[in-house]
């Protein structure tokens, strides 16, 4: 079994003998008694009524059976996705381990009942109470109870990944008034998202978790309450998940039309080209394409020509995923913002987009592109200006008034205007050209750094940027490593520059601290890869978490976007406005797409279930 060290029960985990008559819900007026509700939204009301039968993006009549084979780039050495150590099998989180509530994928941030049949909080969100569905069972048949929820909270608070520790440490007290009820006191947290964050907490069985080894990697499948169980593991190569025939939640409205395959097989590939060749041979069922060159001309093979492989383009409704070259500002060479501004000027997007990406991409500064949350090319409103006023000295006026634009070159690879501006900034930062070499004025050391890459597309971008930088006397190296080493070095911040993508939702929240909060800068395992330590960024994240209405929330997110843009922590590369998906026609999907885009859990096997070709 999935063994973690057993946690001792503290005074905050006591089980009261008093039965609680649970009235769960949200109140619009302080002091009004809350009522039992089936869902909770970050802002506004849930879209689906209490008597909904299924989600609009799922086919409730989808047939069950067959196998879905994934092809995943990389490897793994652990089945525990809740700790820093090791490379975990991430689908364990959604297919094997459940939470109290589940996301509605057609809304910015709304959660519906899963293990918990209802949820209660007050207008101030100073507490949250969950009532567990009495039908809920772990895969070994034992019931899910309040003590499991309290155990999971304390376990992940003390031993989980940094983001989990950060979230759950905000709870003032947790208790179980009865065996199926859990109440979290959030007094002093001032975090309106926290009830939802707790609703998404992974629930692990107290009776099957051994605490002394929780933070160690394991290849033993966990006992949990989800629709699948781990049934086979080939270390580093594949994991097989089999549907639990006794899954307790198969008839829940949130689950109707989901989890349709009898088996999910996760096959791992160490190299991207080999991964694609395996797809062409039918060794796995679908791929999310991230390389424009391959999408443009790489699918001219027999199965794609005759319709056995279907290509689809999906436009999700969430902020566009954005790719960046990330400066590690922990490195002295990138500590000066003028250096970062200069290198941003030197990247020739127009040339790269035309020659490498067939002009399929656009480019926006900021981190919420293609949504109402983006501050780029939009003047700050009164609320944004108020929030940013204490930090006015560090936010340039053109970023406040919306007139700032990313540099645009002539696309020749030899744009003199941007080169002159970049050299001026570098000179101001203490670097001068010595012949054809840019050197530190004080030490005479040449300006050089390493760009770490792991895919063909990343390498092509890095090599193009290397050519751009040579014009300014900068001679960076490009080092290509396998995905395993790349992930390890990224998580421990052992790099000068990497390419990275941040995916954002329409309801950014606590994860923003994990992405760029000061407390995350030197904490291994976070996604603050640039090492940002900016009071303005921290203050804007705090403001968006405290926002009570959507208008104030949008203003706070835009203010955060402006603070990040002003820090020049990254070089924006491109924005991905579409999802490119290729699938073998033995796999079918619903005609309706969720706001969040593709969802493999809504797919099913077409016709008679068939095994994927053997390797």
Query: Bridge partners of 264?
Result: 68, 241
Residue 284 has pLDDT above 70, yes or no: yes
| Nearest CA-CA partner of 532 in 561, 564, 490 | 564
Q: State whether residue 147 is helix, strand or coil.
A: helix
Assign domain 322-375+407-529+571-575 to a CATH class.
Answer: alpha beta
Q: Average pLDDT, whole number, for the chain?
A: 91
Residue 34 confidence (pLDDT): 66
- pLDDT at position 4 is 37
Vertex 372: Cα angle to 368 and 373 (nearest 5): 40
User: By the 8 A CB rule, do 208 and 1 touch?
Assistant: yes
pLDDT mean over 551-566: 97
Q: Confidence class of residue 19 from pLDDT cuts 50, 70 and 90? A: very low
Instruction: Look at residue 359 in the predicted model and tell me its pLDDT.
Output: 82
Please say if the pLDDT value at position 163 is more than 90.
no
- Give dist(CA 601, CA 594) in Å, integer: 12
Across the beta sheet with 127-132, the strand order is 116-121, 127-132, 181-185, 173-178
Cβ 558 vs Cβ 402: under 8 Å:
no
What is the reported pLDDT for 15? 35
Helix axes 349-356, 456-470, angle to 10 degrees: 140
* Distance, CA of 171 to CA of 345 (rounded, Å): 45
Q: What is the predicted pLDDT for the residue at 483?
A: 86
- Predicted confidence at residue 16, as pLDDT, reads 37
With vertex at residue 581, the alpha carbon angle to CA 41 and CA 71, rounded to the nearest 5 degrees, is 95
% helix, strand, coil for the chain, step of 5: 30, 20, 50
**What are 252-283's pLDDT values in tens digits?**
999 999 999 999 999 999 888 999 999 999 99
Q: What pLDDT, on the 0 to 100 scale, is given for residue 296? A: 86
Confidence of residue 378 (pLDDT cuts 50, 70, 90): very high
Which pLDDT value is given to residue 33? 54
Q: Which pLDDT score is estimated for 23?
A: 35
Helix locations, 180-301, DSSP H = 194-199, 272-280, 292-297
Q: pLDDT category, 611, cuts 50, 70, 90?
A: very low
Strand 477-480 and strand 497-502: the pairing is unpaired
State residue 9's pLDDT score.
36
pLDDT in tens, 172-214: 999 999 999 999 999 999 899 999 999 999 999 999 999 999 9
Chain center to CA of 355? 30
- List CB contacts of 350: < 8 A, sequence separation 6 or more: 408, 409, 410, 411
Nearest to 171 by CA among 280, 45, 25, 10: 10
> What pLDDT, on the 0 to 100 scale, is given for residue 360?
78
Interatomic CA distance for residues 414 and 417, integer angstroms: 9
Query: What phi and psi, each to the nearest 5 degrees, are found at residue 361?
Result: -110, 155
At 24 the pLDDT is 35
19 burial level (CB within 10 Å; 0-12, 13-18, 19+): exposed
User: pLDDT tens digit string along 486-534?
Assistant: 989 999 999 999 999 988 989 999 899 999 999 999 888 899 999 999 9
- Separation of alpha carbons 508 and 255, rounded Å: 25
- Can you tell me which residue has the tokens 């008093």? 18
For the chain, give the number of residues: 615
Which residue in 166, 170, 160 sits closest to 191, CA to CA? Answer: 170
pLDDT by residue (tens digit) across 135-150?
999 999 999 999 999 9
Structural domain boundaries in the chain:
322-375+407-529+571-575
pLDDT digits (tens, 9 = 90+) for 563-599: 999 999 999 999 888 899 999 999 999 999 999 999 9
């Amino acid at each position: 079994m999935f063994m973690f060290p057993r946690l001792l029960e503290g005074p905050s985990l006591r089980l009261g003998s008093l039965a609680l008559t649970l009235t769960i819900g949200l109140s619009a007026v302080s002091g009004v008694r809350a009522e039992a509700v089936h869902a909770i939204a970050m802002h506004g009301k849930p879209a689906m009524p209490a008597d909904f039968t299924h989600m609009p993006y799922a086919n409730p009549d989808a047939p069950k059976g067959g196998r879905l084979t994934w092809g995943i780039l990389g490897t793994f050495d652990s089945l525990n996705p809740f700790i820093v150590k090791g490379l975990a099998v991430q689908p364990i989180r959604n297919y094997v381990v459940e939470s109290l509530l589940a996301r509605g994928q057609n809304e910015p941030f709304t959660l519906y009942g899963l293990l918990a049949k209802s949820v209660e909080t007050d207008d101030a969100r100073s507490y949250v109470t969950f009532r567990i569905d009495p039908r809920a069972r772990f895969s070994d048949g034992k019931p899910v109870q309040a003590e499991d929820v309290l155990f999971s909270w304390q376990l992940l608070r003390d031993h989980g990944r940094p983001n989990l520790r950060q979230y759950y440490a905000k709870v003032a007290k947790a208790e179980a008034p009865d065996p199926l009820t859990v109440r979290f006191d959030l007094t002093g947290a001032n975090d309106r998202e926290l009830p939802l964050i707790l609703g998404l907490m992974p629930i692990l069985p107290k009776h099957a978790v051994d605490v002394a080894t929780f933070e160690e990697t394991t290849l033993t499948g966990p006992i949990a309450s989800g629709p699948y169980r781990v049934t086979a593991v080939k270390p580093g190569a594949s994991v097989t998940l089999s549907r639990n025939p006794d899954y307790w939640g198969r008839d829940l409205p949130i689950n109707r039309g989901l989890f349709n395959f009898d088996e999910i097989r996760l096959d791992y590939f160490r190299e991207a080209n080999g991964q694609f060749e395996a797809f062409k041979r039918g060794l796995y069922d679908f791929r999310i394409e991230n390389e424009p060159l391959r999408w443009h001309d790489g699918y001219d093979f027999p199965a794609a020509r005759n319709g056995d492989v279907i290509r689809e383009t999906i436009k999700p409704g969430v902020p566009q995923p954005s790719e960046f070259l990330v400066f590690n500002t922990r490195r002295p060479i990138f500590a000066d913002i003028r250096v970062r501004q200069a290198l941003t000027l030197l990247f020739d997007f127009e040339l790269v987009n035309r020659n490498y990406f067939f002009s399929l991409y656009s480019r926006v500064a900021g981190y919420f592109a293609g949504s109402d949350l983006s501050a780029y090319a939009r003047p700050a409103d009164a609320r944004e200006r108020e929030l940013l006023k204490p930090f006015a000295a560090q936010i340039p006026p053109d970023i406040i008034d919306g007139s700032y634009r990313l540099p645009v070159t002539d696309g020749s690879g030899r744009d003199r205007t941007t080169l002159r501006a970049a050299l001026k900034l570098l000179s101001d930062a203490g670097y001068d050209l010595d012949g054809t070499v840019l050197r530190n004025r004080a030490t005479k050391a040449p300006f050089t750094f390493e760009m770490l890459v792991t895919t063909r597309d990343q390498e092509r971008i890095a090599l193009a940027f290397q050519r751009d930088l040579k014009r300014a006397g900068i001679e960076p190296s490009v080092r290509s490593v396998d995905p395993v080493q790349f992930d390890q070095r990224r998580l421990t911040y052992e790099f000068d520059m990497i390419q990275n993508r941040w995916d954002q939702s329409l309801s950014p929240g606590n994860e923003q601290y994990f992405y760029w909060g000061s407390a995350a800068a030197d904490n291994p395992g976070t996604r603050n890869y640039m090492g940002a330590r900016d009071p303005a960024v921290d203050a804007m994240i705090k403001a968006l978490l405290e926002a009570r209405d959507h208008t104030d929330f949008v203003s706070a997110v835009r203010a955060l976007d402006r603070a990040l843009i002003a820090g020049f922590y990254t070089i924006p590369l491109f924005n991905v406005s579409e999802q490119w998906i290729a699938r073998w026609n033995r796999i079918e999907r619903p005609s309706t797409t969720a706001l969040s885009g593709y969802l493999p859990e809504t797919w099913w096997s077409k016709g008679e279930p068939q095994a994927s070709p053997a390797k």
